[in-house]
Amino acid sequence: MIVEGPRSITVSALRIKQPIGDIYVGSIPAKTLVDITDFDIRMLVSERGIDSYLGIQRELDPKRVKEIAQYVSGPDATFPTAVVLAIPEKCVSIESPCEADDRFVRMTLSNYPAVEGADSEDGGAVLYRHIARVIDGQHRIKGLEGYEGEDFDVNVSIFIDADIADQASVFATVNLAQTKVNKSLVYDLFELSRSRSPEKTCHSVVVTLESTKGSPFYRKIKRLGKATPGRYSETLSQATVVSGVLQYICKDRLQVISDRQIGRRGGMFPPATSNYANRLVLRPFFIEGRDVELTNLIWNYFDAVRGRWETAWMENGTGVMLNRTNGFDGLMKFFRNAYLHFAAPGEMVTTDQFSKLFEKVKLSDADFSPQNFVPGSSGASMLYRTLMDQTGIL
C-alpha cells in the first residue's frame, strides 16, 4: 500500500541482501513513478551522475517511447521486470514494522529540501521531483507518462545512496551483459496465442511453407533460429522470413501492437490508409482472414524464383547468396513491385505470372555470388535494383 503526502510517498518493500549492497523491491503506481523520476540530463550536469560518469547521453528513443505508450494502452500490458532506481539517502527514511522479520520495511521517499526562490506553492520545493535517478527503465517510464487507464503498479528495485561507481556497474550489467532473446523464438511463441495478430499470421505462413513438401521453402527455414541437427538445407532463419512478410501487413511496430490489441478484443482490423495501400499489399489478406491465400501467394512468388534459378536457390553452400538473408531480403523488397505489376492489393498472382517477369532477368545462377552481391543490406539493395532494372518495372 502506498500513502501519498504533501512531499512524500510511502512504499512497502522487501529488503534483499546482495554483494553490491541492499536492494529494496516494491511497487509504485505508474503516475507516481513518473512524478519522482527525472529524465532531463541537463539537470544532472552539476552532479557527477551516471550519465556524465559514463561519458554518454542516454537520450530517449522517441520511436520506442511511442511503441511503449501504445502497448500500455492495451489489456495485456505488463512490465514483469523491475525498473531500477537510485535514490539518495537524504531522500529516504526506513522503518521495520515487522519485528519478526526485518526484511519487510516501510520506506518514505521525500523530495529534496526546498530551494530558495523556486516557484512553487509549498515554499520552494517541487513535489516529489528529482528523488530518483533511473538506472534502467527510462523508456518504460516515459511511455507511461500519458497513461490514463486503471492503476498500473510498476515493480521497482531501489538502490539507496549507491555511489556512482556502483550505479555505473549496475547500468553496465543491465544494459550490456544481458543476452538478447532470439527473435525466431519470440515469433514461434505466437502460435500459442488464441487471438489473431500479424505475428501469428506470419508465423503460420512460415511454418506451412517450411513443412510442406513441394514448397520452395521446404526444410530451408531454421525454426527457432537454430539449425536442425543433421539437416544442412536450412539457409534462412524463421525471423528473417516472418519479418519479410510482416513488412507488407503493418507499416511499423505501432501498428503491429495496435493490431495485436484489436485481435485480443475480437475487433475488426482497419484497412490500410490510402497513402499506405500500395505499400501494405498483404494487409487485405490478413484483415480478411485469408491466411491460406497469403501462404499460396508467397509460395507462388518463390516458386517462380526457384524455377528461374533452381541451382542457386537449392544450393546449401556458402558460395551462393540467393537463398540466404541478403538474397531473401532483396527478393522480398522486389516482391511488392512484382506483385503490383500484375494485381491490386488483396488479389492473387500465379507462379506463371511471376515466372514471365523473372524470364526478363539476365542473371545466371553463378551470378548470385557474395562478390557480386555482398553480405548485408547493401547486397540486398543491389539485388533489388538489378531486378528492377532488368525487368523494366517502373
Measured CA to CA, the distance from residue 207 to residue 210 in angstroms comes to 5
30/143 Cα distance (integer angstroms): 10
Name the domain boundary from 156, 176, 196: 176
Average pLDDT for 142-165: 85
Q: pLDDT value at position 178?
A: 57
Is residue 337 located within the same domain as residue 376?
Answer: yes
Q: Indicate whether 160 and 204 sit together in one domain.
A: no
Domain finish residue from 141, 176, 211: 176
Mean pLDDT of the 141-168 span = 83
The CA radius of gyration of the chain, in Å to the nearest whole number, is 27
- Write out the residue range of the structural domain in which residue 100 sits: 3-176
Q: Are 313 and 307 within 8 A, CB to CB?
A: no
Whether the predicted pLDDT of 108 surpasses 80: yes
Query: Which grid coordinates are listed for 384?
Result: 533489388
Amino acid 179: pLDDT: 59
Does residue 172 sit in the same domain as residue 213?
no
- Provide CB contacts within 8 A for 218, sequence distance 6+: 209, 210, 211, 212
Q: Across residues 98-123, what is the average pLDDT? A: 66
If asked whether residues 89 and 214 sit together in one domain, one would say no
Let me know whether 312 and 205 are in one domain.
yes
Cα dihedral 192, 195, 197, 203 in deg (nearest 10): 30
**What does pLDDT average to over the chain?**
84
Average pLDDT over residues 39-59: 43
- Same domain assignment for residues 309 and 368: yes
- Identify whether residues 220 and 312 lie together within a single domain: yes
Q: Is the pLDDT of residue 167 over 90?
A: no
Last-in-domain residue among 176, 196, 229 = 176
Kindly state whether residues 55 and 165 are assigned to the same domain. yes
Residue 332, all three cell numbers: 522480398
Tally of domains in the chain: 2
Question: Tell me, what's the pLDDT at 53?
Answer: 41
Tell me, what's the pLDDT at 229? 78
DSSP 250-317: -SSHHHHHHHHHHHHHT-PPPPPPTTTTTT-TTHHHHHTT-HHHHHHHHHHHHHHHHHHSHHHHH--S
pTM (2 decimals)?
0.72
- 222 and 86 co-located in one domain: no
Q: Indicate whether 112 and 222 sit together in one domain.
A: no
Range with the poorest average pLDDT among 3-7, 240-244, 299-303: 3-7
pLDDT score recorded for residue 342? 97
275 with 295, same domain: the answer is: yes
Q: What are the grid coordinates assigned to 136, written together? A: 534502467
List residues bridging with 155 in a β-sheet.
27
In this predicted structure, the answer to whether residue 55 has a pLDDT above a threshold of 50 is no
**What percentage of the chain carries pLDDT values higher than 70?**
83
The pLDDT tens digits of the residues spanning 250-279 come to 999 999 999 988 998 899 999 999 999 999
Cα separation, 365 vs 317, whole angstroms:
13
Higher pLDDT among residues 286 and 189, named by residue = 286
Note whether 65 and 143 are within 8 A (CB): yes
248 plus 144 within the same structural domain: no
